[in-house]
């Protein structure tokens, strides 16, 4: 990747910056980021609000997507089309997100080269400080040609 994906996302998605999302690793269709444990992000049971968890997971999915397709921004705009999240356990403390592209880059680009809008998924696991998966999300992305 020829640019800092995490910095790019924090600049272009101010809400992720507002929440304090930190990008740790972004490369080869994968991304890891985290959400700090802040009182102003908590819900009525003391864990991160569902909206904050959703934003963390969506941010990680966007970073993973951009690490694979960021070189295509001159000809297509990436858009999330759907997202499904499962809240599995009460999240507490700092939460990390691990995202991974579930598509083959060459196949996605072949669809884009044919003038169509490819769709592909990115899976994200949200983990607490003990490494327990507290939520899982799948985001479907498309690349819309300019």
Domain boundaries, position 103: 5-145
Q: What is the CATH number of the domain that holds 113?
A: 3.10.129.10
Cα separation, 70 vs 76, in Å, equals 10
How deeply is 31 buried, as exposed, middle or buried, from its count of CB atoms within 10 A (0-12, 13-18, 19+)?
A: buried
Q: List alpha helices for the chain, DSSP H.
A: 5-12, 14-19, 50-69, 105-113
Tens of pLDDT along 48-107? 999 999 999 999 999 999 999 999 999 999 999 999 999 999 999 999 999 999 999 999
pLDDT at 3: 84
What confidence tier does 1 reach under pLDDT thresholds 50, 70, 90? very low
**pTM given for the model:** 0.96
| Total of domains in the chain | 1
């Amino acid at each position: 990747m020829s640019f800092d994906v995490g910095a790019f996302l924090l600049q272009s998605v101010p809400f992720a910056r507002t929440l304090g999302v930190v990008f740790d690793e972004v490369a080869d269709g994968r991304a890891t980021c985290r959400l700090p444990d802040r009182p102003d992000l908590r819900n009525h049971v003391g864990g991160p609000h569902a909206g904050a968890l959703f934003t963390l997971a969506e941010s990680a999915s966007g970073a993973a997507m951009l690490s694979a397709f960021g070189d295509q921004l001159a000809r297509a705009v990436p858009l999330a089309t759907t997202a499904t999240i499962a809240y599995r356990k009460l999240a507490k403390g700092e939460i990390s997100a691990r995202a991974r592209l579930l598509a083959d880059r060459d196949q996605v680009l072949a669809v884009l080269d044919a003038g169509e809008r490819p769709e592909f998924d990115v899976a994200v696991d949200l983990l607490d400080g003990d490494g327990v998966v507290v939520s899982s999300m799948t985001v479907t992305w498309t690349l819309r040609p300019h």
